[in-house]
Amino acid sequence: MESINKCTEWTKNDPMLIEYHDKRWCKPCHNDKELFAMLCLEGQQAGLSWTTIIHKEEAIRKAFDDFDFNVIASYSDKKVDELMMNEGIIRNRMKIRSVIQNAKALIGLISDSDYKSFDEYIWHFTEGKQVVHHFSDLSEMPAKDELSEKISKDLKRRGFSFVGPVIIYSYLQGIGVYDDHLDGCPSKLADY
């Protein structure tokens, strides 16, 4: 029981965070819309707790047209003002504009590069393989690493924003490029 408590320590016994930890965190994702959604959600978290994002996630997804990047890329200033009035989301104009900017950057990445999808782009950094870390304690987990710095730099070069190396490390966990479940965690042992 001690290892289970240790590996879910960051969930603070919050049922929504526990569900996220058990069912989504560090599970490989290959769906472009969900990869974009997670990038945006991680950007929304900047300066806030993941608890805040998880508790607002449903409203954020609804407000941003379920993160359909083709729709978001066409948002107007009027839409930004409308989103600023939505109490269910993170009402930060820079973060809202970042979602729009990232939608446009993603469309550009897919249409103007050798990558046919966001999935192909993000997973090429690890040659399509999940990186499994073997941490025994949360204190061993870095805030960023060489790969998150490399991806952050490349995304910024391509016009993305709110994609610093700390955000990208968390993003890589969220989309399953990294498996950072602690050794002994039942979620690490699951067959996925």
pLDDT tens digits along 137-170: 999 999 999 999 999 999 999 999 999 999 999 9
Q: Report helix angle 50-63 to 32-45, nearest 10.
A: 130
Which one of the listed residues 9, 19, 34, 50 is annotated catalytic?
50
Residue type, 73: A
Over residues 65-91, mean pLDDT: 98
> What sign results for the dihedral spanned by CA atoms 95, 172, 143, 7?
positive
Active site residue 42: yes
Which one of the listed residues 10, 19, 20, 34 is annotated catalytic?
20
pLDDT of residue 186: 85
- The residues near 57 (Cβ < 8 Å, ≥ 6 apart) are 41
Active site residue 20: yes
Which one of the listed residues 42, 75, 123, 178 is annotated catalytic?
42
CA atoms within 13 A on the CB side of 88: 10
Which backbone phi and psi does 131 adopt, to 5 degrees?
A: -95, 115
Is 9:43 a contact under the CB 8 Å cutoff? no
pLDDT of residue 5: 56
Over residues 18-47, mean pLDDT: 96
Q: How confident is the model at residue 8 (pLDDT cuts 50, 70, 90)?
A: confident
Active site residue 50: yes
**pTM greater than the 0.75 cutoff:** yes
Q: Check whether 92 has a pLDDT greater than 80.
A: yes
Q: How confident is the model at residue 4 (pLDDT cuts 50, 70, 90)?
A: very low
Q: Check whether 2 has a pLDDT greater than 60.
A: no
Over residues 172-186, mean pLDDT: 94
**Of residues 169, 168, 141, 174, the one with CA closest to residue 24:** 174
Is 42:167 a contact under the CB 8 Å cutoff? yes
